[in-house]
Amino acid sequence: MISLLKRNLLRKRYPWNMKKYMKINERIVVAGRIVWSYPKKIIMGVSLFFILVSAVPVVDTGCTSFPRMSKIVSDFTAPSLMASPQIKTIMGTIKAGDTASSLLNTYLPLKIIYDLDRRSANIFPLTRIRKGHPYKISLLEDNLVAFEYEINQDDRLVIQKETDTYSISKNPIEYEIRQETISVDIRTSLSEAIKQSGEYSSLTWKLADIFAWDIDFIRDIQPGDQFEVLVGKRYRDGKFHGYSDVKAAFCTNQGRVYKAFLHEDANGRKGYYNEKGQSLQKAFLKTPLNYSRISSPFSTRRFHPILKKYRAHPGVDYAAPRNTPIKTVADGTITRIGYNKTMGRNITIRHFNGYETSYFHMNKYAKGMKKNTKVFQGDVIGYVGKTGLATGYHLCFRMRKQGRPVNPLKENTASANPVLSEEMDGFTLQSMKYSEKIKAAQNLALIPPN
Ligand SMILES: [Zn+2]
């Protein structure tokens, strides 16, 4: 919650209309419409009332109607003519065995509770309230005026007294969001560096997700690598409540700089893009061969033509003429290359995101292929043959994700779209702003201490 001092300051600065979000010192401040000027004490007293019952109809003051979303209540300060000292709140966390009925039955007849339960089913079923979650009951002369339950870190269920019924809604929990730039230098690992900088491991996972298509966070990260992250930190009542979106992140990995910028399109879909507006989410090539036909699909059970028995076939066979070039379907590193009685000449490549692909029965390898060679999507790695256990010329193509065989035809084969051309100007402007913030933080870090 914003300090009273700051609110008074705001009120002086914006005496008549504070109804919108105002960005102050990089903090998103939500303020209500202030139309009265009351002494501080009264404001303090009645603001509590408003925290509880923001939706109680406000006497018409001739102003535009009062914002009724409960999400702004925690920063609400306007006094009301209806302010009443009888408002009582009960706050707590759900205990084992608590139910909506046991919590509310003192103030509401069971019939109404059942009705609320029925009506809340689509929003959040009251039967699903869980141990450990905070709740708040607001009473006016022992009558329930509001019940709030925190579903998770993001949303709360709000049941509010209206004239002759109760409204049920799910409202976002409002946080104060502070944008911060966090810079870390890698000595051992990213998670270690993040911890050293006083941040939490959830930030490591966020970064790993963003760059998962470009960087192998277990093997590629080296001492001397750097990360700069512009991220929102959520606070509520002064307490840290996790990170919101990473707005931008720079990663210098083995001398190469990767940049990621958050962009939300007109449909509200969020994604990370490089400076050119290309999605960081990469796709596999649809097939490792240009001219081929599938001679045996991926299956968990098929009749093996040579072994003459049913076996799983955790790959896709492409029949193709001898020496048809075989391409790697994505960037990666060769982890295995060699001859095997069953698989013949074969290559396995480790990719981003825990993926691995294997190419069996090759006639020969492409030049320069050896263990630990870096390969890039579309590079020819070898040529179709029938080495090992094979009846005809074909490529047996296999894909694993986190060590488990997956059907390559069903994995993500479509790259996320780039930023739409009509949104490109906005994207560029935004990403420049983000970059400036990161650079400003870098410069600040360079100033030597006195
Ligand atoms: Zn096969």
Least confident of 63-77, 265-279, 398-412, 419-433: 63-77
From the CA of 316, how far away is ligand 1's center (Å)? 6
CA of 302 to the centre of ligand 1 (A): 11
> Residue 354: what pLDDT?
85
Q: Per-residue pLDDT for 194 more than 70?
A: yes
Spacing, Cα 317 to ligand 1 middle (Å): 5
Distance 377 CA to ligand 1 centre (A): 22
Find the 166 Cα to ligand 1 centroid distance in Å. 62
Among 115-129, 197-211, 356-370, 412-426, whose mean pLDDT is lowest? 412-426
Rounded distance from Cα 335 to ligand 1 centre (Å) = 20
pLDDT tens string 204-253: 989 988 888 788 777 778 999 999 999 999 999 899 999 999 999 999 99
What's the gap in Å between 306 CA and the centre of ligand 1?
Answer: 12
Residues with CB under 5 A from ligand 1 (ion): 315, 317, 396
In this prediction, residues 360-388 reach a mean pLDDT of 94
Expressed in angstroms and rounded, the spacing between residue 351 Cα and the centre of ligand 1 is 20
How far apart are the CA of 85 and the centre of ligand 1, in A? Answer: 77
Q: What is the pLDDT of residue 450?
A: 53
Instruction: Give a three-class secondary structure readout of the chain.
Output: CCCHHHHHHHHHHCCCCCCCEEEECCEEEECCCCCCCCCHHHHHHHHHHHHHCCCCCCCCCCCCCCCCCHHHHHHCCCCCCCCCCCEEEEEEECCCCCCHHHHHCCCCCHHHHHHHHHHHCCCCCHHHCCCCCEEEEEEECCEEEEEEEECCCCEEEEEEECCCCEEEEEEECCCEEEEEEEEEECCCCHHHHHHHCCCCHHHHHHHHHHCCCCCCCCCCCCCCCEEEEEEEEEEECCEEEEEEEEEEEEEEECCEEEEEEEEECCCCCEEEECCCCCECCCCCCCCCCCCCEEEECCEEEEECCCCCCEEEECCEEEECCCCCEEECCCCEEEEEEEEECCCEEEEEEECHHHEEEEEEEEEEECCCCCCCCEECCCCEEEEEECCCCCCCCEEEEEEEECCEEECCCCCCCCCCCCCCHHHHHHHHHHHHHHHHHHHHHHHHHHCCCC
Confidence check: pLDDT of 86 > 70: yes
Ligand 1 centroid distance, CA of 398 (Å): 8
79-83, 211-215, 288-292: lowest mean pLDDT where?
79-83
Structure tokens at 96: 């084992």
How far apart are the CA of 397 and the centre of ligand 1, in A?
6
Q: Report CA(125)–ligand 1 centroid distance (Å).
A: 49
Measured in angstroms, how far is the CA atom of residue 348 from the centroid of ligand 1?
A: 14
Lowest mean pLDDT among 180-189, 261-270, 299-308, 388-397: 299-308
390 C-alpha vs ligand 1 centroid, how far in Å? 9
How close is the Cα of 410 to the center of ligand 1, in Å?
16
State the distance from the centre of ligand 1 to the C-alpha of 381, rounded, in angstroms: 18
Does the pLDDT at position 55 exceed 70?
A: no
- What is the distance in A from the centroid of ligand 1 to the CA of 380? 19
CB 129 within 8 A of CB 98: yes
| Ranges 36-45, 141-150, 178-187: which has the least confidence | 36-45
Q: What is the mean pLDDT of residues 194-202?
A: 92
pLDDT at residue 219, as a whole number: 74
Calculate how far, in angstroms, residue 344's C-alpha sits from the geometric centre of ligand 1. 11
For residue 358, the CA-to-ligand 1 centroid distance in Å is: 10
The confidence score (pLDDT) of residue 85 equals 62
Query: What pLDDT is attached to residue 48?
Result: 44
Report if pTM > 0.85. no
The per-residue pLDDT for 309 is: 67
Distance 383 CA to ligand 1 centre (A): 15
- What local confidence, expressed as pLDDT, does residue 28 receive? 32
158 CA to middle of ligand 1, Å? 56
Give the pLDDT score at 166. Answer: 93
Mean pLDDT across 96-107? 91
Chain centre distance of CA 299: 33
Give the model's confidence band at 317: pLDDT under 50 very low, under 70 low, under 90 confident, else very high.
very high
pLDDT-based confidence at 409, cuts 50/70/90? confident
pLDDT at res. 141: 87
* Cβ proximity of 150 and 135 under 8 Å: yes
Looking at every residue in the chain, the average pLDDT score rounds to 80
Percentage of the chain with pLDDT > 90?
A: 50
State in Å: Cα 369 to ligand 1 middle.
Answer: 22
User: What is the structure's pLDDT at 308?
Assistant: 67
Predicted pLDDT of residue 87: 86
Confidence of residue 191 (pLDDT cuts 50, 70, 90): confident
Please give the pLDDT value at position 182. Answer: 95
Question: What is the whole-number distance in angstroms between the Cα of residue 326 and the centre of ligand 1?
Answer: 15
**Tens digits of residue pLDDT in 251-270:** 999 888 999 999 999 888 89
What six digits make up the tokens of 399?
Answer: 């894909």
Residue bearing the bigger pLDDT, 395 or 67: 395
Q: Which domains does the chain have, with CATH numbers?
A: 1-85 (no CATH), 91-173 (3.10.450.350), 175-281+418-450 (3.10.450.350), 293-406 (2.70.70.10)
More confident residue, 4 or 193: 193
pLDDT at 296: 80
Is 376 a residue whose pLDDT tops 50?
yes
From ligand 1's centre to the CA of 285, what distance in Å?
A: 18
- Separation between Cα atoms, residue 185 and residue 125, nearest integer Å: 46
Q: Which amino acid is at 201?
A: S
Q: How far is the CA of 228 from the centre of ligand 1 (A)?
A: 44
What mean pLDDT comes out for the span 326-338? 93
Report the separation in Å between the CA atom of 103 and the middle of ligand 1, taken as the mean of its atom positions.
61
More confident residue, 21 or 370: 370
Give the confidence band of 1 by pLDDT, cuts at 50, 70, 90: very low
